[in-house]
Structure 1
Amino acid sequence: MDTAPPQGTDELTYRDATEADVPELVALVESAYRGDSSRAGWTTEADILQGQRTDPDGVRDVITSPGSRLLVVERAGEPIACCQLEHRGDAAYFGMFAVRPGLQGGGVGRRVLAEAERLAVAAWGVREMHMTVISVRDELIAWYERRGYRRTGRTTPFPYGDERFGLPQRDDLEFELLVKNLAEGGTGRPR
């Protein structure tokens, strides 16, 4: 884990989300991916998906499901990022990753991902981290590849017609599985 925060910032702290965090976490995830506010960061999906990214029920499910946790990342007591970890046998699933748009590109995401990998290994002894990314998100996939994730070519269809996942603006969306081996010392230490 990165022990020294970037110059001019406070240290990041991590905690498990509670149901009281749901409204703030929904707003954080939405701001990172959808609408005009997301355009301040580079993770926006506003050009490929409109509508919602998540909702209170979806966030609450992650918080309360067995073998799942939603990490809240705070700086000076203020939530600035979050991510989901779910135990799936020899692997952990990483999802619902969001960093406040104005803070993207400054190393926060890299540090959160590294800490999530470390926590997954420490808590569950997993050998791999899995995630799914919309396959047309080339810049985002490249970011994960630089952090040791590899494309598998294994895809699942986007849930067209289910507005809980947004309103697609194109007809070629699908999710691709990305995998990182954590057993060979690849526990997410920043490069």
Structure 2
Amino acid sequence: MSTSPRTELLLVRPLLASDFLSELTALLHSSYGRLARMGLRYMATHQSEAVTRERVEGGTCLVAVDGGRIVGTILFRSPEQTAGCSWYDRPEVASFGQFAVDPAIQARGIGLRLLRDAERLALASGAHEFALDTAEPATHLVDWYTRLGYRFVEHAQWSHTNSRSVILSKRLPDDLHPFRRHTIRPASTAPAEAAKAHAGFLGQRE
């Protein structure tokens, strides 16, 4: 009998001050392990807890929680927080990164739910495009994002990686733009209040 969590019952919320960054960092290392074994040096394959803290402070970190355990995460960056290449520097582009799901329960919809919630944050931020970067040799990831409507925009070379990256982006649907009336407050500045504010917007369920 499977003991994997039911996706619709997972709690998706902003990272709280009471969450352990050591747990989040371990999840990242584990989730990116396959990429590390491919010889790809993503930041998340080896980053320290201090780097995890620095990165989550640069955006809104969402986590998927099952039974009190963090089993997935995604880091949303508003257009104001997105920069580093010509596409990221455009004022209408939001982005995401540090996207991970526990390898033991991947391919069961958890990552897709996190991504959809991050897309809603992008809409609320006023973005028209939602972008990411990933290593060019990680063709399985490029294919997955392509199936979800993301398209190739440009290449980038980051100083911390050992391979060329591709920038993929998705045009956000105009018919969902009423979400932009919401104001996004980073969870790192007011954890309890941010969690309450996001609860209805993200459709959280215990």
TM-score where L is the length of structure 1: 0.74
> Percent identity at matched positions?
27
Aligned runs of 1:4-43 on 2, under 5 Å?
9=6, 11-19=9-17, 20-34=19-33, 38=34
Structure 1 unmatched runs, 5+: 1-6, 39-43
Does 1:53 pair with 2:46?
A: yes
2:172 to 175, 179, 182: 182
1:126 counterpart = 2:127: yes
CA spacing shift, 1:50–1:149, aligned 2, 3 Å: closer
Distance between the aligned counterparts of 1:27 and 1:186, measured in 2?
Answer: 35
Contact 1:62 1:69 in 2 (8 A): no
Give distance in 2, aligned partners of 1:101 and 1:128.
29
Q: 1:155–1:175: 8 Å Cα contact kept in structure 2? A: yes
Secondary structure, aligned partner of 1:126: coil
- The answer for the alignment partner of 1:98 in structure 2 is 100
Aligned to 1:156: 156
* Alignment coverage as a number of residue pairs: 159
* 1:96 aligned partner, one-letter code: Q
Distance 1:183 1:142 in 2: 21
Report the Cα distance in structure 2 between the residues aligned to 1:99 and 1:182, rounded to whole angstroms.
24
SS state at 2:155 partner: strand
Aligned to 2:74: 83
Task: Say which structure is richer in strand.
Answer: 1
Distance 1:30 1:48 in 2: 14
Helix, strand or coil at the partner of 1:49: coil
Task: Work out the CA distance in 1 between the residues paired with 2:165 and 2:101.
Answer: 20
Where 2:104 maps in the other structure, the secondary structure is helix
Unmatched 5+ stretches in structure 2? 80-90, 178-206
If each structure's helix is expressed as a fraction of its own residues, which one has the higher value?
Answer: 2
Moved over 4 A (4+): none
Q: Letter of the 1:180 partner, please give it.
A: K
Inter-partner Cα distance in structure 1 for 2:11 and 2:24: 16
Instruction: Note the C-alpha offset of 1:50.
Output: 6.1
- The answer to whether the Cα contact below 8 Å between 1:128 and 1:183 also exists between their aligned partners in 2 is no
* Partners of 1:62 and 1:26 in 2: CA distance: 11
1:81 Cα deviation after fit: 0.3
SS at match of 1:148: coil
Distance 1:53 1:186, change over 3 A: farther
Q: Distance in 2 between matches of 1:8 and 1:96?
A: 21
Q: 1:82 touches 1:98 (CA, 8 Å); kept in 2?
A: yes
Structure 2 CA distance for aligned equivalents of residues 74 and 149 of structure 1: 26
1:77 Cα offset (Å): 2.4
Paired residue for 1:69?
60
Q: 1:129 to 1:25 in 2, by over 3 A?
A: same
Report deviation, 1:175: 0.9
